[in-house]
Amino acid sequence: MSKNANYIGQPIFSQLLNFLPKSKITKLTEKHNSDHYTKRFKTYDHLVTMLYCSFHNCRSIREVTTGMMACHGKLQHLGLSDYPKRSTLSDANKRRDSSVFEEIYFTFYKMYSSSLSDSRSKGMLDKKLFIVDSTTISLFQEVLQNAGQTPANGKRKGGIKAHVLINAQEDVPCLVRMTKASANDTPFLQHIHLPKKSILVFDRGYNSYSEFERFSNEEITWISRKLPKASIEVVSERPLDQQQTLSGVIKDEDIILGQYHQ
């Protein structure tokens, strides 16, 4: 009986890597010249190591290298000849340009976008729904000395903030930007360009009246909470039908949104 060598007897993580053709990663590596002056820890090795970190929810470089060392006999399933040392991984994180990983992500995102989860599509809005949010990744001050704010207890840590745009029907990021943890959320809005009739949802940390106007002009419906200092002038009010009232709509108004300056 024939056996499928791609899956049988292989760890789940190894099976996931089978969806990332090494030939495509090699081409992108050559395009970005990301293996320049690198003898052992290549871009592919770096990618697999960081995916291992995410898959196993590792919280430190020591945890990554120790875990991979424990699986030393199974590394051949991952296409690695050896596990990275802490100093090797740390140096690679510092020196290798992240742009190659960005293009690798979006290359496979486009490749598999048609196969992404559509379990929410039934009963969804007939327009594309996109969600914007950010998350802060804490790092010790020695790693990013100029990032982050000093808390009251004096235990200052650096960090980075990941701003993410997610298509609600796909459940994976379609746009990611990194900033300092202390950076304002608002500038991320200028990177967002969506098809007409899209619906964009974000919290009030993303506040830019010029971007709000751009979204409206591009026929993008945007939804956010009102800032306490925001001023609203009602231009006209539309009557609500019974279906709108039953669905929880309180008001439907045309407004002018802004902020008074003295």
Quick check: 137 and 183 in contact, CB under 8 A?
no
Residue 7's pLDDT is 45
Residue 2's pLDDT is 46
- Co-location of 164 and 215 in the same domain: yes
The contacts of residue 209 (CB under 8 Å, 6+ apart) are 257, 258, 259
Residue 10's pLDDT is 62
Residue 84's pLDDT is 87
Residue 76's pLDDT is 67
- Co-location of 219 and 240 in the same domain: no
The domain boundary residue, chosen from 112, 129, 161? 112
Is 7 contained in some domain? no
Report how many domains make up the chain: 3
Residue 128's pLDDT is 86
User: What parts of the chain have a pLDDT lower than 50?
Assistant: 1-8, 142-144, 147
First vs last C-alpha separation in the chain: 82
- Structural domain for 241, as ranges: 227-262
Residue 140's pLDDT is 54
Whole-prediction pTM value? 0.72
The domain boundary residue, chosen from 82, 112, 142? 112
Residue 183's pLDDT is 86
